[in-house]
Structures are given as structure tokens and as C-alpha cells.
Amino acid sequence: MRKSLHDTETIDRYLLERMPAAEAEDFRVRMLIDADLAEQVRWQRRAHNLVRLEGLFGRLMSDAAFRRQIDTIFTH
Amino acid sequence: MDTQELEALYTAAFPKVAAMVRRYGGDLETARDVFHEAMLVLMEAEEPRSAEAYLMGIARNLLRRQTRQIPMADLPEDVTEAPVQTAPMAIWSYVRGRCLDLLKAFYDRGDTMERIAFTYGYSSAHSATVQKYKCIEKLREQLKTSGIYEEVFA
């Protein structure tokens, strides 16, 4: 994996809490002294949140009652 | 915000934001994008007293900002109170299609990488994992360059 993907993977493990406690502590310290890393973490967290929202939208819109409620808004 | 809280808030607030977007002349896709943008702000904010009211406020700001960018010549002459727009109001577009589907399988549904590799036709879980990181990187960069969030809420 190229370096940026490796960094992305490390950030993911931190955000998903799949990092051993000691490594997570080191990572938090790195974020304090590396503003770029802290910024990447912030945007990656936002990307995770957006994916959750997109997933939820898909699930809710496949529920007939919810879909009807929303369709009514856009057809009247 | 855990999954149950998120779903409860989504179910209660999305129809209200959708109705507001409709009044501004927007369609379902616009409603989804505006709502998700507002939710992203909320999910990073200190716990507001009323999440629903907070969301409505952000969504209204986004819509107002968006409609201000429409040249007056493009608006119908009979516009009175609410600005009306007939063209699609894409707030921003992000990685859709296969990449987003793969990301949803992992981050939303919690599928294993083995299952994802099988579903999306990758030769191994490792190949699917590399693709997943490429996709999340792409989405992250697209969110960064969208700029809307920072401009509206900075």
C-alpha cells in the first residue's frame, strides 16, 4: 500500500477504536503535535459520518411508510 | 450519537427539512444533500439543546446561501416570499456509485471484507481493503474541497 493509504488505514483504526490502547495514546500525542494529521482525522471522521447517513437514507427510503411520507412532500 | 439516536432523529427531522427544501423548489436529492450537510455539522457540534431545531436552522442557512447564488434573471418573475428554483440545487456531490456502496457495506452495515470482496468481485479481502481505503480517501478529499461547510459555518 502507498504511504497515504497506509495513513488512511491508521486513521481508520483509530476512529473505529481498533487500535491497542498504547498505540491510540501515541496517536493522540501525534495529533497534538501534527496539525496536518489532526486535520486528516477530522475529515476522515466526517467521511465516516456521511457514509452512515447515506446508509441510513437508503434503509429508511426502502421502508414503504417512510417513502410514502417523503414522496407526498414532493408530489403535492 | 449512537445508531438508534441517529435513526430516531433522522426519521423525525428529515421530512421537515424535505418540506422546507420543497418550498424552496428543491427536489428529493437536494433535500438529502442539505439534510446530510446539516447532520454533519450537528454530529460534530456540542450537544445542542434541541437537535431538531438546530438542524432546521442549519438547513435553512444552507438553502438561503444556495439560493442567493442563483442569478435573479433565472428566477421566475412571480417570486414573492420563498425563492423558487427549478434547476437542480446540488449543494455538493460526493463519491457515488460503486465506491459509496462499498463504503456503506463496511462502515454502515458492518460487512466483513471477505463478504465485500465476494459481493464486489475483488480477488481477495486484501484487494477489497485497498479499494476501501482508496474510496474513503477520495470521499475525504472531496469533502475537503467542497468548501461549503467551512464557508457557511466558519
A27-49 average pLDDT score: 96
B76 and B102, same domain (yes or no): no
In the prediction, which pLDDT does B51 show?
A: 87
Chunked mean pLDDT (size 10), chain B, 154 residues: 90 96 90 92 82 90 74 42 40 71 94 96 96 93 71 45
Q: Among residues B75, B91, B107, which one ends one of the domains?
A: B91
Residue B118: domain span? 98-146
In the prediction, which pLDDT does B127 show?
A: 96
B21 and B52, same domain (yes or no): yes
Q: How far is CA B134 from CA A12, A49, A75, B64, B144, in A?
A: 12, 17, 39, 34, 15
pLDDT, mean over chain A: 94
Q: How many domains does the structure of chain B reveal?
A: 2
Closest-CA distance of chain B to residue A33, Å: 21
Classify residue B153: in a domain, yes or no. no
Classify residue B152: in a domain, yes or no. no
- Contact of A74 with chain B, judged by CB distance below 8 Å, is answered with yes
pTM recorded for the entire structure: 0.84
B82 and B119, same domain (yes or no): no
DSSP assignment of B23-59: HTT--HHHHHHHHHHHHHHHHHS---S-HHHHHHHHH
Classify residue B154: in a domain, yes or no. no
B79 and B112, same domain (yes or no): no
Contact list in A for residue B43 (CB cut-off 8 A) is 49
How many contacts, defined by CB atoms under 8 Å, are there between A and B?
A: 93
Q: What are the residue ranges spanned by the domains of chain A?
A: 3-75
Q: Tell me: the pLDDT tens digits for B32-47?
A: 999 999 999 999 887 7
